[in-house]
Amino acid sequence: MYTERLLRVVAVAAITSSVLSNPIPLTREPIENIPRGLPLVTDEVLLFDAPAFRTGEGNELTASIRMFTHIRQIDSSIISGALTTAIEALGIEVGNKAGNLFERTKLFFAIPRSGIEVDLNVAGCDSFNVGDTSKGGLLERNAAIGACGGALSPRTISGVAPGFFSSRPFEATLFPSHPNGFGVVSDVDDTIKVSNVLDKKQAVKSLFIDDHEAVGGMPELYSQLDGELGNPAWFYLTGSPYQLYPSLRKFIFEKYPKGPMIVQNLTLTDVQSILKFVLDDNNVRDYKIAQMEKLRSFYPQKKFLTIGDSTQADPEVYAEIARRHPDFIQCIWIRKVNEADNSDERFATAFKGVPQAKWKVFTEPSELAELDVATGKCN
């Protein structure tokens, strides 16, 4: 099902073309002739929260760093007004939520900045330098950060970009985690956040306008799991593109146990990637499988509880990883979303080869409250 992805692209395309009076594809090519190296006064850095894991024999840690660099945007009430008009033309009431709309769409208009490197500090660990960002302004690198005094608590990663009058700090949270113990991987849309991905108009509204709303009972369940699994490592794995990261991150940090969110690279600057995003049904599936494999390469000895829903490919993704690496996946929970494909055949096919005792499809989070994941009681 590509409903959600299609919607996002259509909505963004509608807004984009209306704001810029310019049909997609946009040719917002990165500007090539400005210097490479440390950020300039005109650059902005979005640093993502990063997992860190032990490497080698000792306590040495490696951080998995991701960032997006772009030309600094001037907050403009003109763009804000045009966005509101474009969304209201789709028959969606913006009301007093123009702020949400602007915040959630502004990175789609950002002009990527390539060739940027940054110096980063992690409180109590070694400083390091990462570079340089790709043509699309993105970077993903592993960086050695030392032993950090042997502690595995969350820390701040920070850097600075020069400003016109004073320097502008940017920061994210580093989440180091023990090689053993439990981890939880959770999907976001329609698993922990009401997204209405199956109702087009509602979905656009949930995505761009409404304050993000937690799925009933899920914050309580996650808080309970956080205690029962002995402070597991939390990861939020979503098919959403990185442009939506800031607002989703804020929502998760307010309502759920904190952990890095893994988002997709989506560059709306070329036709190829738009088409791939929209038409390739396996896109989210393949991306999620690849990200699960990456997590396993960071934490090969951990055991994971994976939680998702029935709207997209979560059952298929988690089952595939459980077949490949039975010891890595402790339990799989799938939230049944009304009007998605909830047929017995779908789940039987998805979970073929995965022991019945490992997975459960649920409607109410209360069905899970009594289960003891730590001892392998998944259903």
Ligand X SMILES: *[C@@H]1O[C@H](CO)[C@@H](O)[C@H](O)[C@H]1NC(C)=O
Rule CB under 6 A: which residues touch ligand X?
134, 138-140, 265, 287
Burial of 329 (0-12, 13-18, 19+ CB in 10 A): buried
Q: Tell me whether residue 137 or residue 365 sits nearer to ligand X (CB atom).
A: 137
CB under 8 Å to 155, separation ≥6 — which residues?
122, 123, 124, 125, 148, 173, 174, 176
Is the distance from CB of 189 to CB of 195 less than 8 angstroms? yes
SS3 state at 9: helix
CA-CA distances (angstroms) from residue 80 to 76, 98, 109, 203, 247?
6, 7, 12, 20, 17
CB of 197 to ligand X, least distance (A): 21
DSSP 81-92: HHHHHHHHHTT-
CB of 267 to ligand X, least distance (A): 9
Is the distance from CB of 80 to CB of 102 less than 8 angstroms? yes
CB of 343 to ligand X, least distance (A): 31
Q: Tell me whether residue 134 or residue 202 sits nearer to ligand X (CB atom).
A: 134
CB of 121 to ligand X, least distance (A): 22
Q: Which residues pair with 158 in a beta bridge?
A: 121, 171
Q: Tell me whether residue 252 or residue 284 sits nearer to ligand X (CB atom).
A: 284
Q: Tell me whether residue 26 or residue 139 sits nearer to ligand X (CB atom).
A: 139
Tokens of 282: 């396996």
CB of 139 to ligand X, least distance (A): 6
Q: Tell me whether residue 20 or residue 138 sits nearer to ligand X (CB atom).
A: 138
Q: Tell me whether residue 262 or residue 361 sits nearer to ligand X (CB atom).
A: 262
The dihedrals phi and psi of 47, each to the nearest 5 degrees, come to -100, 135
Q: Tell me whether residue 171 or residue 293 sits nearer to ligand X (CB atom).
A: 293
Is the distance from CB of 31 to CB of 71 less than 8 angstroms? yes
CB of 265 to ligand X, least distance (A): 4
CB of 33 to ligand X, least distance (A): 21
